[in-house]
Structure 1
Amino acid sequence: MSTDRSAWAGMVPVDDTALYVTDTGGPGRPVVYLNGAYADQSHWKRVIADLGSGFRHIAYDERARGRSKRSADYSFEGSIRGLDAVLRARGVDRPLLVGWSYGGILAWHWADRHPDRVQAAVIVDAFPVGVTGAAGQEQIRKLFRRMRFFFPVAARLGLAARMTAAQHADVNIELNEIAAASVPVLERLTCPVRFVLATGDSLGSKGGEMDQGRATLEPVLARNPNLTVSARVASNHSKILRHDSPAVARTVREVAAEVSL
């Protein structure tokens, strides 16, 4: 449990950068929110409001997102180190992790590496599938090159990072490779893991690709009883936190009631 429960907002140093962190403090169970690949912590405000003051809410911006500083390292391992740094800085020993998209994959990998340090995980529309190989990588790079003029505006809206198009693509390519190789990780998780899944396609996907990806969870769920789908909602991947925050909050409450502090 945490040793510092005071409300706080500020910068936490890690590697060559610093992450902007907000912590509501209080005696409640610590819930740590992990963002989508290019999103900032503002996307969690509805979930946090729905859960209310009975929890201690800790959210932060990844490198070059939101108010956090830029870095020379935007890798997945850098994100793992960022989560470690936030937990140390806020004195949290056993978080309940809630991750959306990229943040969901980050949550299950951190839980796999630290099985004795995590209470539970709520995964919002992330699944073990990805576009890989040379053709897949070129597809991703083309998409981000087309979107390059959108990034400066999107970054101000919490929808992109302060990165180049090539850096955005590198993050996405690595994420796809990690997601595609995640089935063994999910199969060995020992903490309770609850999924909230969206429907339909999202930006950059088409033809039911996202629903095909969600279907890859089914055999994993059958092999690991610690994993459960708690809700399937009508929103798509991009809009799930905005339109279906009550389902996410309800899942957090349910899994929190199942595990001891």
Structure 2
Amino acid sequence: MAKSSTPAWTGMVPVDDTALAATDTGGPGIPVLYLNGQFATQGYWRRVICELGPDWRHITYDERARGKKSGRSADYSFEAAVRDVDAVLAARGVDRALVVGWSYGAVVAAHWAGRNPERAMGAVLVDGAAPYDWLDEAMEQRIRKLFRRIGWFAPLLRPTGLTPRMTAREQADSNIELGRLSRERELGPVLDGITVPVRYVLASGTSFGSKGEEQEKIRAGLDPVFERNPNIRLGAKVASNHGAILKKDFRAVAESVREVAALERGGR
């Protein structure tokens, strides 16, 4: 029997005290929900979506105060970001989905997949969700200094959607919370508990705000995870850096999506 086809849709999804700008390509294909980088927008996924093509149902959204339309909120916590996954899926009538997250979105995807094994078809985690204790007092001060420094020109870019409608302090707090959640004792058990297929696509080199070999040391924190949990594997290690991976290595991301979907179908 043919699957029912959902019409394409673009609009706002109400959640808590705000609303999120979302797009659903519709169709009868496997629903793929894309989770953005910490201050990025749904537009970053354009190449991955084009590579996968129309046989998939692509769902994207801009997190709170990101992009041009998503509203501001009193809550920019990580738990709010996880709740937003459920809100978007519920609004689109999707019970089960394959989640794909980049950077901050990879951590959100890992938590959501771990908490919802019956609803997660699997996950593709793109250069994020690596358990490593990179946050100390010096790094916290470095983060706050960085966001204060860029805070003066960020408002100029907000009408374009390139910077969030968050204060420098709110952005720093979010980044610091990510550091705490990424500690091995915090993120390690989350990854160890995942029971659905997961593939990582890792970049090489640095990211914005990092120095030297910091990023490669963080990525190396995944090696014990691969050894402990047979559901989690490295899909690809690509040449591009953290910021360029969705632009330059979108084919590797799409291939891991196909692989996870095939594993999920084979397991049913």
Q: Counterpart amino acid of 1:63?
A: R
Residue number in structure 2 paired with 1:259: 264
Q: Equivalent residues in 2 for 1:205-224 (5 A)?
A: 205-224=210-229
Range with bigger deviation, 68-77 or 143-152: 143-152
Q: Secondary structure at the match of 1:119?
A: strand
Count of residues in correspondence between the two structures: 260
Cα 1:128–1:6 change in 2 (3 A) is: same
The answer to whether the 8 Å contact 1:122/1:193 transfers is yes
Aligned residue for 1:54, secondary structure, equals: coil
TM-score normalized with structure 2 length = 0.93
> Is 1:167 paired with 2:170?
yes
Structure 1 residues 218 and 156: CA distance shift in structure 2, 3 A: farther
Contact 1:12 / 1:85 at 8 angstroms: preserved in 2?
Answer: yes
Partner Cα separation in structure 2 for residue 203 and residue 56 of structure 1: 31
Partner of 2:200: 195
Q: Residues of 2 paired with 1:150 and 1:4: CA distance? A: 45
Alpha-carbon distance between aligned partners in 1 of 2:259 and 2:6, rounded to the nearest angstrom: 23
TM superposition shift of 1:256: 0.9
- Structure 1 residues 211 and 31, CA, compared in 2 at 3 Å: closer, same or farther? same
For 1:73, give the aligned amino acid.
Answer: D
Map 1:179-194 onto structure 2 (within 5 A).
179-180=182-183, 181-194=186-199
What are the equivalent positions in structure 2 for 1:214-253 lying under 5 Å apart?
214-253=219-258
Indicate which of 48, 71, 75 corresponds to 1:69: 71
Call closer, same or farther: CA 1:153–1:185 in 2, change over 3 Å.
same
SS of 1:46 mapped into structure 2: helix
Corresponding residue number in structure 1 for 2:9: 8
Q: Distance in 2 between matches of 1:157 and 1:128?
A: 33
Deviation at 1:155, TM superposition (A): 3.9
Question: How has the CA–CA distance of structure 1 residues 211 and 155 changed in structure 2, closer, same or farther, with 3 Å as cutoff?
Answer: farther
Q: Which runs of 4+ in 1 moved over 6 A?
A: none
**Structure 1 gaps, min length 5:** none
Contact (CA 8 Å) 1:197, 1:232: kept in 2 or not?
yes
Displacement, 1:154?
A: 4.5
Taking a change above 3 Å as real, the CA distance of residues 154 and 130 of structure 1, as seen in their structure-2 partners, is farther
1:93/1:117 contact within 8 Å kept: yes
Alpha-carbon distance in structure 2 between the residues aligned to 1:219 and 1:159: 36
Q: Distance in 2 between matches of 1:19 and 1:182?
A: 27
Aligned runs of 1:74-93 on 2, under 5 Å?
A: 74-93=76-95
Q: Distance in 2 between matches of 1:157 and 1:247?
A: 29
Identify the residue that residue 27 of structure 2 maps to in structure 1: 26
Unaligned runs of 5+ in 2: none
CA contact (8 A) 2:12 2:20 kept: yes
Q: Where does residue 148 of structure 2 map in the other structure?
A: 145
What's the secondary structure of 1:182's corresponding residue? helix
In the aligned structure 2, how far is the partner of 1:62 from the partner of 1:256? 25
Deviation, structure 1 residue 129: 2.4
Q: CA deviation at 1:150?
A: 3.5
Tell me, yes or no, if the aligned pair for 1:3 and 1:91 is still in contact at 8 Å: no
Between stretches 14-23 and 154-163, larger displacement belongs to 154-163
Q: Distance in 2 between matches of 1:107 and 1:113?
A: 10
What is the rounded CA distance, in whole Å, between the counterparts of 1:245 and 1:156 in structure 2? Answer: 27
